[in-house]
Amino acid sequence: MVAAVSRPAELSDLHELSQLLVDATAEMTTQRGGEALLASFRRSLTPSETLESAISDPNAMVWCGVWEGAVVGYSIAVSSKEGDSDIVSITDLYTTPEARDVGIGEVLLEAAIAWAIGIGATAIDAQALPGARESKNLYERLGLTARLITVRRDLR
């Protein structure tokens, strides 16, 4: 059996990762709350520029999720200050639909948790959209619990 693995992303991964980011964005736009979450990212860069910036940022980490030799997922985590504490936020965690249920999400999240512990962060945050039960279950399996629920009413 082939195991799911994660590894740090490199600039040579930009093409594959950019396509995954495009796919993740397209999938999010179809989910309840997805448009608002995407708008909160304030990314004015192309997918390739977003990833290149994250890979070169000393306060961020990007991982590739690999299964059967192919990059089928990615994640981005960013460290920032919250008072005197370092908090890591997972801004991106995506696995292709065909590779879900093989452990890619778990290895990507485990890598982010290990990185956060390694840099001395006091907490790690991630977001799941309403109805994204698979994401919520993944986070809860690895010890992340809800601490805030944001509600919204569109007034347009």
Given a cut of 70, whether residue 1 has pLDDT beyond it is no
Instruction: Name the residue with tokens 């990762």.
Output: 17
Domains of the chain: 5-141 (3.40.630.30)
Please name every residue paired with 67 in a beta bridge, in sequence order, or none if there are none: 70
pLDDT tens for residues 65-83? 999 999 999 999 999 999 9
The whole-number pLDDT of residue 40 equals 76
119-138 b/e (C-beta count within 10 Å ≥ 16 → b):
eebeebbbbbeeebeebbeb
Q: Which residue has the higher pLDDT, 105 or 150?
A: 105
Q: Note whether 116 and 77 are within 8 A (CB).
A: yes
pLDDT tens for residues 18-41? 999 999 999 888 888 888 788 777
The whole-number pLDDT of residue 128 equals 87
Contacts of 120 by beta carbon, 8 Å cutoff, 6+ apart: 86
The whole-number pLDDT of residue 32 equals 85
The whole-number pLDDT of residue 110 equals 97
Q: In the chain, what percentage of residues exceed pLDDT 90? A: 69
The whole-number pLDDT of residue 33 equals 82
Residue 61: which pLDDT band, with cuts at 50, 70 and 90? very high
Over residues 119-126, the mean pLDDT reads 95
pTM of the model: 0.89
The whole-number pLDDT of residue 129 equals 85
